[in-house]
């Protein structure tokens, strides 16, 4: 995703707008419900569940933690040969206990 975003910035956003865009990824694991919902005449894929909410909160936390890629400790513990990464404790809205997360991406570039 980051490689494609870099290409998009270099070939479109910077030449046309003199600006680049950045994205953040938050990953968690758990059981979810996935399916298709018909709205009017169109089908929409949906994924719902507690892990989706946590992943969404982690993605949002990429801004506050200034790191483009954050994973929960549940994900980090599953990595076969995890790189040594900085961990942080994060208080997440809607979750009673703080989460330990690992910052495995790079800091956002200043625009």
Per-residue model confidence as pLDDT tens digits over 24-62: 999 999 999 999 999 999 999 999 999 999 999 999 999
Domains in the chain: ranges and CATH: 24-103 (3.30.70.1230)
**Nearest-angstrom CA–CA distance, 47 and 33:** 6
**Nearest-angstrom CA–CA distance, 74 and 57:** 15
pTM, two decimal places? 0.84
pLDDT at position 111 over 60? no
**Nearest-angstrom CA–CA distance, 65 and 105:** 11
**Nearest-angstrom CA–CA distance, 86 and 65:** 11
Which of 84, 81, 80 has the alpha carbon at shortest distance from 104? Answer: 84
């Amino acid at each position: 995703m980051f490689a494609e975003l870099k290409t998009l910035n270099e070939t479109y956003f910077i030449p046309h707008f003199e600006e680049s865009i950045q994205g953040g990824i938050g990953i968690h694991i758990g059981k979810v419900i996935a399916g298709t919902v018909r709205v009017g005449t169109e089908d929409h894929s949906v994924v719902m569940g507690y892990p989706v909410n946590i992943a969404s909160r982690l993605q949002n936390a990429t801004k506050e933690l200034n790191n483009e890629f954050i994973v929960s400790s549940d994900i980090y513990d599953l990595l076969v040969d995890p790189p040594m990464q900085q961990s942080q404790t994060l208080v997440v809205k809607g979750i009673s206990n703080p989460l330990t997360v690992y910052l495995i991406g790079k800091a956002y570039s200043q625009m």
